[in-house]
Amino acid sequence: MVPTIKDVAKHAGVGIGTVSRVINNQKAVGEKTRAKVLGAMKELNYSPNNMASQLRKNETKILALLVPIINHPFFARLAYFVEDEADKFGYTMLLVSSQQRVEKEEEIISRIKRREVDGAVFVTHFMHEEEELKNCPIVSIDRDFGGKTPYVTSDNYEATKKALKYMIERGAKKVGFLGSKPIVESEVMLREKAYLEVMEEYHMPVRMVNQVMQHGEEMAIVADFIEKYPDVDGVFVSGYTLSQVFHDNMIELEKNIPEDLQIISYDGMFKQWSTNNMTCVEQPIEEMARQAVRLLVKKIHNEETGVRTVLKTKLVLGSTTR
Amino acid sequence: MVPTIKDVAKHAGVGIGTVSRVINNQKAVGEKTRAKVLGAMKELNYSPNNMASQLRKNETKILALLVPIINHPFFARLAYFVEDEADKFGYTMLLVSSQQRVEKEEEIISRIKRREVDGAVFVTHFMHEEEELKNCPIVSIDRDFGGKTPYVTSDNYEATKKALKYMIERGAKKVGFLGSKPIVESEVMLREKAYLEVMEEYHMPVRMVNQVMQHGEEMAIVADFIEKYPDVDGVFVSGYTLSQVFHDNMIELEKNIPEDLQIISYDGMFKQWSTNNMTCVEQPIEEMARQAVRLLVKKIHNEETGVRTVLKTKLVLGSTTR
DNA sequence: CTGAAAGCGCTTACAG
DNA sequence: CTGAAAGCGCTTACAG
């Protein structure tokens, strides 16, 4: 039914090797021969079967992106740019939402082993046997897997310090930290570290809720924070959805923002169209995505890469700080 | 380096056919033999090479999802559920953001032809040669491709009528329609049709801006609408981002909502955490995604499917109607 | 229940 | 510049 390279070869009166060379645009083909083959391909409406060439070449030209949940602004944006950058290198993107399930993450690793994908970008929450990852082309975001696996992150530590000091300079006296703790060691934890250090430096008591949280449990965490620290006048919120929930709650409680309460979030609200924006630490998501893909492509080709890539964030001023 | 089925066969002292049968869990294998093979697989740390079996079986177990842009709440949600449902059938999801570029959409079709994916779900804006799609396992969302290609949609027409009448019953006298028109014939256009009919029924003049729009041009369209119809007291907004932009603009203009202006959007804001929600027609995104995948799987297996599947929306009351 | 063999549709040295 | 042939790692009738 579907024409194969053999049909094309017969139709054009050449060998299949020659057809293959035409398909792959190799130069060692005479002009006339090439024309004949091209003609036959058109006539038969031929498309090369990729599975076959993949098997021979041992590559799929597919990258996997593993995110905790695609239905989340941060990860959706990340996916957008990963796909765009991958495309530039001729790769397509297989998207896997782990839904916080460890099996899904392991599945990706076995996919790489089975040659279903050439490599993967991990934004992950679970532990993996270092051994498993040793030989896999993987790049991680915000997380150091401990070996030579390259990872891309933003300057969590410096950015958090800067944000906190910004609020304090503008009068915040009771400064809180609201976040969701990653399950595994991750660069994100540097935000907590930065907070604790700043509190110590300014001799302020710690007002922190920073727990492991599932997507969807934002309200409970926020309620917990509000109950414990009703009198804060400056809050650093780590994470996009959490900051939205917290902000909405404060509005409902009719807090005067920023007069009585300043808020800065890590990962802002990307409302390009509104003037009513939150002050936030904006991560260079696009650049993180592109860097990750570039590193991955290098790894796939066994080229050298650095291990840690740190990209600069930006403190974007909005209406939630004085 | 990487062990193949041959290595396993040798190690276990059996034929490769037998190993294959064990891998594929076929019953025609003796208990002892199976154990031997399993043991050998473990010892060699063997993973079957999927490219090879795909070539033989002529299937990839990959579905493509083509969306205009992944970095958008509606499509991100859709992707989430498509992936989840596909997983149930043993498929993974290749995600392609067309970025409104027609080449990207054509690429998917050629991918199907090249056997890189088994089928695709299209949420698309461009025309395609019907001929091209005839033999491809494709399911579309919100769009009738004109042939036997199945598609899933929501009850755009009825839902829009219901929403408009709801506002009118609650006192709206000057009712507008703000939307972005799809480039091609699509079920989404029934929203405009419903609006025009309701206006006629109530003898109200038409106040409509409904243009073809790129993602990112929301502000201009909204500004246009506001300039043309500054005195509306009820607006139906078609589309998630557009409704957000419009709502934010109205807040800035210090309109009293819902006293002086009611708003209903098609595709609401999915803020589960806030009480300050927009009244909206909520599409059954999850069900649309799952249905689309189920239909696609049927098509791949050459089973019969209906052409048009219409799912019910829900009018979710929020604080933007009286 | 099991093995030997053909073949999926390509690519790539190897000759010429 | 070009063809014939081997082989990528599997699956699946076909015998036995």
What pLDDT is recorded for position B5?
93
What pLDDT is recorded for position A81?
96
Predicted confidence (pLDDT) at residue A77 exceeds the cutoff of 80: yes
Using alpha carbons, select from B115, B101, B113, B114 the residue that is nearest to residue B66: B101
Whether A267 and A243 have beta carbons less than 8 Å apart is answered as yes
State the Cα–Cα distance between residues A316 and A296, nearest whole angstrom. Answer: 30
**Quick one: closest CA in B to A77, which residue?**
B71
Give the number of other Cβ atoms within 10 Å of residue B179's Cβ.
Answer: 25
Kindly report, residue by residue over B42-54, the tens digit of the pLDDT: 988 898 998 899 8
What pLDDT is recorded for position B30?
82
A69 and B80 within 8 Å at the Cβ level: the answer is: yes
Using alpha carbons, select from B272, B102, B122 the residue that is nearest to residue A217: B272
- Could you state, in order of their start, the residue ranges of all structural domains in chain B? 5-57, 62-152+285-310, 156-283
State the Cα–Cα distance between residues B31 and B40, nearest whole angstrom. Answer: 14
What pLDDT is recorded for position A165?
96
Question: Using 50, 70 and 90 to split pLDDT, how confident is the model at A129?
Answer: low
> Smallest CA–CA separation between B155 and chain A, in Å?
24
Higher-confidence residue: A272 or A314?
A314
Predicted confidence (pLDDT) at residue A239 exceeds the cutoff of 90: no
Predicted confidence (pLDDT) at residue A84 exceeds the cutoff of 60: yes
DSSP 3-state assignment of A146?
Answer: coil
Order of strands, edge to edge, in the sheet holding B62-67?
Answer: A308-311, A151-154, A138-141, A119-122, A62-67, A92-97, B92-97, B62-67, B119-122, B138-141, B151-154, B308-311
Match 């916080």 to its residue by tokens.
Answer: A100
> Smallest CA–CA separation between A273 and chain B, in Å?
6
Most confident of A118-127, A194-203, A271-280, A313-322: A194-203
Residue segments in chain B with a per-residue pLDDT below the cut of 50:
272-273
Containing B279, the helix (H) or strand (E) segment is strand B279-282
Match 């922190």 to its residue by tokens.
Answer: A208
Q: Lowest-confidence range among A21-35, A78-92, A200-214, B267-281?
A: B267-281
Kindly report, residue by residue over A2-18, the tens digit of the pLDDT: 889 999 998 989 989 99
Question: Using 50, 70 and 90 to split pLDDT, how confident is the model at A66?
Answer: very high
Is there a shared CATH topology between the B5-57 domain and the B62-152+285-310 domain?
A: no
What pLDDT is recorded for position A73?
83
- The angle at the Cα of B185, spanning B180 to B191, to the nearest 5 degrees, equals 50
What pLDDT is recorded for position B213?
83
Containing A225, the helix (H) or strand (E) segment is helix A218-228
- The answer to whether A290 CB sits below 7 Å from nucleic acid chain D is no
Nearest amino-acid residue to D8, taking CA and C1': A56
Predicted confidence (pLDDT) at residue A310 exceeds the cutoff of 70: yes
The CATH code that applies to domain A156-283 is 3.40.50.2300
Chain A 47-86, CB < 7 Å to strand D: 52, 55-56, 58
Q: Supply the mean pLDDT for chain A.
A: 88
What pLDDT is recorded for position B274?
52
Using alpha carbons, select from B49, B114, B113 the residue that is nearest to residue A51: B114
Candidates B5, B66, B71, partner chain A, best to mutate (most A CBs within 10 A): B71
> Smallest CA–CA separation between A31 and chain B, in Å?
26
C-alpha torsion sign, points A282, B101, A61, B151:
positive
Spell out which residues of chain A touch residue B100, defining contact as CB-CB under 8 Å. Answer: none
State the Cα–Cα distance between residues A59 and B207, nearest whole angstrom. Answer: 56
A47 and B244 within 8 Å at the Cβ level: the answer is: no
What's the number of CA atoms in the CB half-sphere (13 Å) around residue A51? 22
- The angle at the Cα of B261, spanning B255 to B264, to the nearest 5 degrees, equals 125
Alpha-carbon B284 to chain mean position: 11
Using alpha carbons, select from A211, A159, A199 the residue that is nearest to residue A222: A211
What pLDDT is recorded for position B205?
96
C-alpha torsion sign, points A260, A262, A263, A268:
positive
DSSP result, B128-175: --HHHHHTS-EEEES---SSS--EEEE-HHHHHHHHHHHHHHTT--SE
The CATH code that applies to domain A62-152+285-310 is 3.40.50.2300
What pLDDT is recorded for position A32?
86
What pLDDT is recorded for position B135?
72
Whether A60 and A111 have beta carbons less than 8 Å apart is answered as no
Kindly report, residue by residue over A277-292, the tens digit of the pLDDT: 789 999 999 999 999 9
Superfamily of domain B5-57: lambda repressor-like DNA-binding domains (1.10.260.40)
Match 């250090």 to its residue by tokens.
Answer: A197
Residue pairs between chains A and B whose CB atoms are closer than 8 Å = 127
Spell out which residues of chain B touch residue A51, defining contact as CB-CB under 8 Å. Answer: 51, 54-55, 58, 60, 115-116
- The angle at the Cα of A14, spanning A13 to A18, to the nearest 5 degrees, equals 155
Kindly report, residue by residue over A103-114, the tens digit of the pLDDT: 778 888 888 888
A189 DSSP assignment: G
Nearest amino-acid residue to C11, taking CA and C1': A56
- The answer to whether B40 CB sits below 7 Å from nucleic acid chain D is no
What pLDDT is recorded for position B193?
96
Predicted confidence (pLDDT) at residue A273 exceeds the cutoff of 70: no
What pLDDT is recorded for position A304?
87
State the Cα–Cα distance between residues A319 and A170, nearest whole angstrom. Answer: 13
What pLDDT is recorded for position A182?
80
Higher-confidence residue: A155 or A28?
A155
